[in-house]
Amino acid sequence: MMRAAVLEKAPGSLTVRAMEAPLAGPGQLLVKVNACGVCRTDLHIVDGELTEPKLPLIPGHQIVGTVLELGEDVGGFSIGQRVGIPWLGWTCGRCHFCASGRENLCVRARFTGYHVDGGFAEYAVADARFTFPLPDASTHLQVAPLLCGGLIGYRALRMTGQAKRIGFYGFGSAAHIIAQVCRYQGREVFAFTRAGDTSAQSMALRLGASWAGDSMKKPSALLDAAIIFAPDGDLLPLALQAVDRGGLVVCAGIHMSAIPSFPYSLLWEERTVRSVANLTRADAAEFLALAPRVPVRTEVEAFPLEAVNDALARLRSGKIVGSAVIDIWA
């Protein structure tokens, strides 16, 4: 048996209860979960904004754990090894997206903590192909946010190409990780937050941002690119106003509220808008190798499993500075 935080219906809250622990099937690993990051995507699932979850469901897709059991035909892992399990949990490997290196767009993809049970539990199973060895340099709590905020943020950053001045709209888990990568790469960071969010602005400046202010303000210089991490469609016109000619705006969330209409003049002069969908295993391998070289240091607020609803509520209200992480065995 194990403790798990279960979503019975959406929208709803999670119930921490005892349930039967899973077993590793063919091609799978059974993992003892040590920590699991709390992501805004978890909120979208719990709040019913992502409408196709498996129910009942154990959410959580930033899983750090140790291997307890190898399923049939699994190689390359050992018992006791530390591993990470991200959002992308399975792809078909056969559709034209998978065949062209775009498995993040697989038409049959299944996602951890959405289509398959995730990491708000003492144990989890995962497809070994979508599980990644983790170095032992960082604590379980510190490394967990890298598995979504870090990975999706890194994919968004790569889309900005050689942009030197980059604005982050929403300075939470993903932004505070990727800001450190930007500074390592010699880029200049501009942080946009909710009005009056001095905690996030202070963190951004502490991490090397050149400017920090609320999202309604114009930055001190025009940007080469902007990444929107906050799920607020109203930010897109503001970001377009902040980027220079030829600039790029990347929408990095899996869900966003409706985007208001805006004049063509904001898009003119070869500005571009694009989205990020999920991640690939290549993204994970590249970023997890880069993070220790930076080195990325996550700022974490830890919660016991029994307080998972409190963690979600604090994230929903914008009160988390950095990343929220569930310490499963606390």
Residues 133 and 156 in one domain: no
User: How many CB atoms within 10 Å of residue 84?
Assistant: 24
Q: Judge whether 217 lies within some domain.
A: yes
* Structural domain count, the chain: 2
Q: Judge whether 145 lies within some domain.
A: no
Q: Judge whether 282 lies within some domain.
A: no
Whichever domain contains 72, its CATH number is 3.90.180.10
Q: Judge whether 65 lies within some domain.
A: yes
Name the pTM for this structure: 0.95
Residues 186 and 263 in one domain: yes
Q: What is the pLDDT of residue 10?
A: 94
Q: What is the pLDDT of residue 199?
A: 94
Residues 105 and 189 in one domain: no
Residues 212 and 249 in one domain: yes
Q: Residue 208 is encoded by which pair of tokens?
A: 């090397």
Are 147 and 84 in contact, with CB atoms under 8 Å apart? yes
Please count the residues of the chain: 330
Q: Judge whether 40 lies within some domain.
A: yes
Q: Judge whether 291 lies within some domain.
A: no
Whichever domain contains 241, its CATH number is 3.40.50.720
Among the candidates 232, 260, 275, a domain finishes at 275
User: How many CB atoms within 10 Å of residue 269?
Assistant: 11
- Chunk the chain into consecutive blocks of 10 residues (it has 330) and report each block's average pLDDT, rounded to whole numbers: 97 97 97 98 96 97 98 95 98 97 97 98 98 90 97 97 97 97 98 94 97 93 97 97 98 95 97 96 96 96 98 95 96
Residues 174 and 268 in one domain: yes
Residues 236 and 127 in one domain: no
d(CA 113, CA 116): 6
Q: What is the pLDDT of residue 137?
A: 75
Residues 210 and 240 in one domain: yes
Q: What is the pLDDT of residue 23?
A: 96
Residues 160 and 116 in one domain: no
DSSP-based three-state secondary structure for 132? strand
Give residue 179's domain range.
150-275
